[in-house]
Amino acid sequence: MSYSLIVKEVEKCDHPLPHQRVKRISGETGEVKWHHTQEEAIAYIEANFFDYFVRKNSTNLRLVVGQTPDGQKYLKTLLDNGTPHHLLELPDAAPLETVNPTPIYSLSYLATIKPGH
């Protein structure tokens, strides 16, 4: 069973290739603020631990793992054709160094929590 998370912000970098501009995604679930690097989010999606969504005009667009011709994985929505433009359109997240520290939980701990709690 996977947990659903709504992505509200994206920390971006100035890489020339759009699929490499996403550095970190973040959002809020209840009182817990979360942030995952692109690599962490890809691993969570592939492990069926989290499902990520971007809200666009009252519709939730699911994030999926895309792959470049040379095999590099990146995040995009189901509606994106190669370039993760729906994700890159989200507001900028503050760099992680400026974010107040929040507890970091291991996957094994998170797996013990029931959805909705």
In the chain, what are the domain boundaries? 3-98
C-beta of residue 2 within 8 angstroms of C-beta of residue 17 = no
**Pair type for strands 50-56 and 22-29:** unpaired
Contacts of residues 40-49 at CB distance under 8 Å and 24 or more positions apart, as own/partner, are 41/75, 42/73, 42/74, 42/75, 47/107, 48/1, 48/2, 49/2, 49/3, 49/107, 49/110, 49/111
Quickly state the pLDDT bin for 107 (edges 50, 70, 90). Answer: low
Residues 7/53, Cβ–Cβ less than 8 Å:
yes
The confidence band for 64, taking pLDDT boundaries of 50, 70 and 90, is very high
The whole-number pLDDT of residue 99 equals 53
1-46: pLDDT as tens digits: 778 999 999 998 887 777 777 889 999 888 788 999 999 999 999 9
- Which pLDDT band, with edges at 50, 70 and 90, does 105 fall under? low
